Amino acid sequence: MSESDLLFAKRRKLLTVKHDAQEVALRIRERLSPERSGELRELLDQQHPADLADAMFFLSEAEDIALFQHLDIAEAAVVLDEVDGSTEDRLIRAISPERLASILENLPYDEATDVVNRLSKEETEAVLALTNTGTAAGIRILLAYAKDTAGGIMATGFVAVPEAATQTEAVELFRASVAAEPVFYIFIVDAEGVLRGSVDLRRLFSARPQTTMREIMQPDLITVTPECDQEQVASIFSRYDLMVLPVVASGDKSRLIGIITADDIIDVIQEENNEDVARLVGSDAQELENKTPVQVARLRLPWIMTTMFIELLAGFVIKHYDATLTKYILLASFMPIISAISGNTGLQSAAIIIRGLSSGQVQLTHWQHALKRQVVTTLLLGGACALVLAVVAGIWDRHWAFAVVVFLGMFASINIAGVVGTVVPMLSKRAGFDPALTAGPFETAFQDVIGISIFLSLASVMLNWFH
């Protein structure tokens, strides 16, 4: 956070958490007229930037822009960092390049880079030409990295102290670094900028004035290179309970080039989770923000068509057992139930495995452990669901043989779907594909076909045998 942001936070004093963004939006709308600008200013002073960003969701596009124009530069910078992507696109195009340049100067370089990434190459150059030299240089460094990598999300504001520096010298360097990220560590480097260790602030300020950083530094640090995927970075934060993660240059020398802080990783985790959930249903996490209806339809259509053709296989299976269904018409009443439950179980298994692969809790090298856990789980689920459905089937048909068929059909379908939902994402990951892409509607439809096939096959054999 920049110095102006800190002053902005101090001016706001103590704020309470707001939950009703719609109510805030209504109060803003009532005060947007020029004659009530003083009341609007008073209201804005009482709101946290995150609450203003949420309130913008309930305002019209014109009201969004009018509100944004009322904010001073420091306020606008914080709000711009909080709004959703589509609102951010609209706001940065509604203001002058000069105002946008001033806003970028009030944002940390990593957040300013996120804003610039929404501009065209020509617009980017025009805005950076208006910003101060330091801000432009910092943004250009981060623009060199893909936005979903460690380099793309890292901050270049950190406190680096020579390993030979004394405690007094280190404290002075810390005090002079007003633009650094607000973390509880300083980093120790050698003459070439190679990372040697870190010192937390408690240890720094409790050390004797003539103590060198080499004497008190923690030498064993976890680091990443700028090419590391942001999802892997999030996994490292979770695994090692980190507050900050140094980013070092690729190559033989581990030169410190940036840091990633916990607040950045919270955004990454939310973003990755949204992407996984969207892909599970054959969609895209950003479709509501920056895609037209035609683009969204184009994105979804291949999944829908693939699902439709796979489901046609279920139609062929049903046609194949037409004689059995004609003879035992009650079977048709249980087919949708078995199909839905087995498909849902498979999708649940897939979602758990995908999340585990993303967070590092599921390792491909220990795939047997993950498969065993899911098999035991689906055995319990399958047994419970099959027993309940079998009792219902026995009451309806008044024949124990029919209840046994329903029990075995449900039990087998759930367990096979659970195994498929567990194994397919891991095989996809092993093959280098995104497991979320292969576990969407395609897999659900495939499990529907499996469930119906197993149920009708068992019904055809067992009911003819019993009768």
CA torsion sign for 93, 95, 101, 102 is negative
Cα gap 70→390, rounded to integer Å: 66
Contacts of 118 (CB under 8 A, 6+ apart): 85, 88, 89, 92
For residue 410, pLDDT beyond 80: yes
List the Cα angle 424/429/431 in 5-degree steps. 95
| H-run or E-run covering 248 | strand 244-248
pLDDT in tens, 197-228: 999 999 999 999 999 999 999 998 999 999 99
pLDDT in tens, 148-200: 899 999 988 899 999 999 999 999 999 988 777 778 899 999 999 999 999 99
Q: Smallest Cα–Cα separation from 188: which of 174, 205, 175? A: 174
Q: Smallest Cα–Cα separation from 280: which of 419, 164, 439, 68? A: 439
Cα gap 463→324, rounded to integer Å: 9
Please, how many CA atoms are within 13 Å of residue 281, restricted to the half-sphere of its CB?
9
Q: For the chain, what is the mean pLDDT?
A: 82
Instruction: Classify 132 in phi/psi space as left (phi over 0), alpha (psi -120 to 50) or beta.
Output: beta
For residue 5, pLDDT beyond 60: no
Query: 177: how many CB neighbours lie within 10 A of its CB?
Result: 15
The pLDDT assigned to 466 comes to 61
Across-strand partners of 405?
Answer: none
For residue 328, pLDDT beyond 80: no
For each of the domains in the chain, give its residue range(s) and CATH number, in order of start: 3-146 (1.25.60.10), 160-261 (3.10.580.10), 287-466 (1.10.357.20)
Work out whether strand 195-200 and strand 256-261 pair parallel, antiparallel, or are unpaired: unpaired
pLDDT in tens, 60-93: 888 989 999 889 898 899 898 888 777 888 899 8
Question: What is the maximal distance between C-alpha atoms in the chain?
Answer: 95
